[in-house]
């Protein structure tokens, strides 16, 4: 027997639950289907279990997409303050960390429970542990075969995310479905992911566990946050951020002393001629990092023994130390995905496919990727809200 709904949403993550709650509260009969055994699994592990649920600095320029203007409509109509108001309505205590990042004081479970309560208000039907075996379209209806059951609706929402964190059940299912209905897909790649080093640069692996505040750059993008050396290469917030902009073969530039003036080594030579470069670096950086950088600069002896030109060049290198990663740690360690369902085929207002009536795509499934720090959740809420209003 085929069950009939007004809308079927595939995926019970942040975007899917938000979309379902909004549509359900507008009087739509909504079914949410997920192959996982519980809703909101990525939400639960986010932010160290406290869910970095939005960012007060949310703005379109904090997102990566082939169409940088696509996010403006949804984010403009449902912003960080709107979601924060919902959080406060449920009495969920929160705190602000650095750079506008908002976290639960308690647990990420509170955000999942809030979304499920909102779905209950809209009488949304939720089915988990229900793998989808077929999706078809005909006579104005989308038919979804799942867990031995068949449901149909005139509207279908793709909210199954991207392939990042496959151990959580993530896959490229959204892209397969999009292609099935004639939508284009921007080649997906891992984002917010540690980068790996090899060859000569692999010597830095000896610094595994050492971190320092830096400015990391890739192309025109730059981020002033901490970088962390790992046994495989580079990580930490600054590196995760630039990884979203990185392509194989590109160098990553790191300014190890972002507050130091350009000629600081020349000035130090006048003031402390007997000091070594390593001593100066150790006053501003962790000892192991200072030693590794000084060793590679190869300026032996005191500052008085160095030519000014050599000190200038050393200062320049320290402000733009080049690494050429040989890869990343892949989708297994990526927090999100760059790429996805091409926004050129979607309405920025409703998230509906332009040439496939009743088909919608939201959240990480779409070619929209936010910075680290709550931006991707805000896109999930905003895109889910936009589609929910249109269903």
Walking along the chain (391 residues) 10 residues at a time, the average pLDDT comes out as 97 98 98 97 95 98 97 98 98 96 98 98 98 96 96 98 88 96 97 91 82 97 96 96 97 96 94 95 96 93 95 97 95 96 98 98 98 98 98 98
Distances (CA, A) of 285 to 140, 292, 293, 294, 310: 63, 11, 10, 11, 21
C-alpha 94: how far from chain center: 21
Burial 97-118 (b: 16+ CB within 10 A, else e): eebbbbbbeeebebbbebbbeb
Rounded distance between C-alpha atoms, residue 130 and residue 144, angstroms? 11
User: Which of 250, 247, 243, 224 lies closest to 323, judged by CA?
Assistant: 250
CB 126 within 8 A of CB 40: no
Rounded distance between C-alpha atoms, residue 270 and residue 284, angstroms? 19
User: pTM for this structure?
Assistant: 0.95
Q: What's the confidence (pLDDT) of residue 203?
A: 65
Q: What's the confidence (pLDDT) of residue 169?
A: 86
Question: Which residues lie below 8 Å from residue 283, measured CB to CB, with a gap of 6+?
Answer: none
CB 342 within 8 A of CB 170: no
Rounded distance between C-alpha atoms, residue 79 and residue 54, angstroms? 9
Q: What's the confidence (pLDDT) of residue 200?
A: 75
Question: Which residues lie below 8 Å from residue 377, measured CB to CB, with a gap of 6+?
Answer: 14, 43, 46, 51, 52, 53, 54
Question: At 328, phi and psi to the nearest 5?
Answer: -125, 175
């Amino acid at each position: 027997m085929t069950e009939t709904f007004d809308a079927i949403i595939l995926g019970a993550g942040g975007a899917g639950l938000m979309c379902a709650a909004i549509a359900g509260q507008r009087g739509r009969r909504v079914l949410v289907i997920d192959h996982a055994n519980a809703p909101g699994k990525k939400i639960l592990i986010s932010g160290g279990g406290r869910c970095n649920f939005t960012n007060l600095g949310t703005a379109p320029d904090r997102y990566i997409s082939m169409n940088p203007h696509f996010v403006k409509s949804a984010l403009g109509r449902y912003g960080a303050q709107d979601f924060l108001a919902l959080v406060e309505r449920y009495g969920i205590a929160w705190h602000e960390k650095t750079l506008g990042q908002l976290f639960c004081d308690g647990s990420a479970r509170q955000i999942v429970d809030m979304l499920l309560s909102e779905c209950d208000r809209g009488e949304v039907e939720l089915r988990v542990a229900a793998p989808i075996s077929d999706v078809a379209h005909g006579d104005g209806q989308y038919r979804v075969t799942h867990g031995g059951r068949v449901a149909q609706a005139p509207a279908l929402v793709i909210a199954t995310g991207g392939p990042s964190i496959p151990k959580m059940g993530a896959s490229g299912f959204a892209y397969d479905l999009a292609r099935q209905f004639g939508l284009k897909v921007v080649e997906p790649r891992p984002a917010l992911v540690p980068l790996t080093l090899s060859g000569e640069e692999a010597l830095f692996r000896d610094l595994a566990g050492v971190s320092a505040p830096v400015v990391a750059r890739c192309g025109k993008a730059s981020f002033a946050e901490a970088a962390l050396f790992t046994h495989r290469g580079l990580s930490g917030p600054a590196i995760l951020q630039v990884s979203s902009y990185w392509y194989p073969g590109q160098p990553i530039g790191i300014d190890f002393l972002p507050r130091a003036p350009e000629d600081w080594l020349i000035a130090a030579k006048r003031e402390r001629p007997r000091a070594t470069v390593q001593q100066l670096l150790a006053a501003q950086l962790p000892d192991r990092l200072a030693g590794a950088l000084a060793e590679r600069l190869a300026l032996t002896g005191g500052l008085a023994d160095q030519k000014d030109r050599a000190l200038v060049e050393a200062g320049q290198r320290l402000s733009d130390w080049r690494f050429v990663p040989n890869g990343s740690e892949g989708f297994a360690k990526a927090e999100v995905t760059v790429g996805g369902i091409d926004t050129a085929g979607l309405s920025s207002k409703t998230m509906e496919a332009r040439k496939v009536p009743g088909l919608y795509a939201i959240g990480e499934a779409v070619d929209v990727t936010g910075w680290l720090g709550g931006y991707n959740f805000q896109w999930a809420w905003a895109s889910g809200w936009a589609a929910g209003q249109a269903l």
